[in-house]
Amino acid sequence: MTDTSSLGANAPTDTTVAENADRPQTTDRHEDTPDSWTDYAFEGEPKLSVDGLDVHYGSDQALDDISIEIPEQSVTALIGPSGCGKSTFLRCLNRMNDRIRAAEVDGTVTFEGQDIYQDGLDLVELRKRVGMVFQAPNPFPKSIRDNIAYGPRKHGTVQTDLLAKLTGRDDSDQEDEIVERSLRQAAIWEEVNDRLDDNALGLSGGQQQRLCIARCLAVDPEVILMDEPASALDPIATAKIEDLIEELAEEYTVVIVTHNMQQAARISDQTAVFLTGGRLVEYGETDQVFENPKSQRVEDYITGKFG
């Protein structure tokens, strides 16, 4: 992960453009061809592997021939200007685009070696293993406890309804453990443990987002997809989410869309830069992408010349 204080010339600060004014517009280290640098290699098997991914919405192409491998137990940031296809790409990783009638997905996405677009795949199981946290916190209008227990109850991990009680199979203790563990993992337990039966909508925005992360964790995912999870939050709540993401990456594979380049530099291990036309232009270690991008267009984007 990158220490943003060492981002140097490429840190997207207000002064960056002025500082770079004397730099040559095209530096020697940038080659004009090839026009993408995406063959990033890392040790071990990829958790997710995407090959030749195209997405169209009707006749409009949103993603163009994306190939990328995502390592496990790390944070991969997806950055790029508005409309370049970051959210579309994220939704391909757990087939959320299936819910969009106009979306047509071609190419291959494998999760732990299994093609997730194969016929007959269990989508409920896929989305349990590849969970998602959205831009706006979206707790259910239920108690804090019920928000967290919702997934484990739905997947049959715990049974706590009247029938379970009548038939002597009451998993309330196990459910309590899952609720506490998930809320602790999402760094919100201390703030809510004395009001688990209060409505989740009474929490602050930052607390609601951590609750949504806890809800995602409650079903034991392996991958957590996050679509601008802090963009609706104030700086203090954002810092808490960023700390949390870094901690989660010790156990989970995190893929995050962010508009905030400083945030990508702070919390991610790998960064993928998408540019207009739904093209993936550069993918590599975050330090390298921010401090020494291979693509001139990526350097221009990172230094604020467009986007």
Ligand X SMILES: Nc1ncnc2c1ncn2[C@@H]1O[C@H](COP(=O)(O)OP(=O)(O)OP(=O)(O)O)[C@@H](O)[C@H]1O
Closest separation between CB of residue 147 and ligand X, Å? 26
258 contributes a contact to ligand X by CB under 6 A: no
Closest separation between CB of residue 84 and ligand X, Å? 4
Site for ligand X in 10-49 (CB under 6 A): none
102 or 121, CB closer to ligand X?
A: 102
Closest separation between CB of residue 50 and ligand X, Å? 15
Question: Whole-angstrom Cα distance, residue 16 to residue 301?
Answer: 12
Question: Whole-angstrom Cα distance, residue 289 to residue 300?
Answer: 12
102 or 123, CB closer to ligand X?
A: 102
For tokens 């190419």, the residue is 107
128 contributes a contact to ligand X by CB under 6 A: no
Closest CA to 139 of 203, 223, 230, 225: 203
Closest CA to 252 of 76, 73, 46: 73
Question: Whole-angstrom Cα distance, residue 151 to residue 137?
Answer: 17
Per-residue 3-state assignment (H helix, E strand, C coil) for 123-150: HHHHHHHEEEECCCCCCCCCEHHHHHHH
Closest separation between CB of residue 87 and ligand X, Å? 3
Question: Whole-angstrom Cα distance, residue 293 to residue 39?
Answer: 14
Closest separation between CB of residue 32 and ligand X, Å? 25
Radius of gyration of the chain (CA): 21
CA distances, 18 to each of 4, 188, 261, 290 (Å): 19, 42, 18, 18
If 0-12 CB within 10 Å is exposed, 13-18 middle and 19+ buried, where does residue 180 land?
middle
| Eight-state DSSP code of residue 257 | E
85 or 152, CB closer to ligand X?
A: 85
| Eight-state DSSP code of residue 173 | H
- The footprint of ligand X on this chain (CB under 6 A) covers a number of residues equal to 12
95 or 142, CB closer to ligand X?
A: 95
279 contributes a contact to ligand X by CB under 6 A: no
175 or 228, CB closer to ligand X?
A: 228
100 or 121, CB closer to ligand X?
A: 100
Closest separation between CB of residue 286 and ligand X, Å? 19
DSSP secondary structure, 186-198, as one string: TT-HHHHTT-TTS
Closest separation between CB of residue 38 and ligand X, Å? 17
Site pattern 82..111 for ligand X (x: CB under 6 A): xxxxxxx-----------x-x---------
Contact 89, 63 (CB under 8 A): yes
Closest separation between CB of residue 233 and ligand X, Å? 16
Site for ligand X in 46-85 (CB under 6 A): 57, 62, 80, 82-85
Q: Which positions lie near ligand X, rule CB under 6 A?
A: 57, 62, 80, 82-88, 100, 102
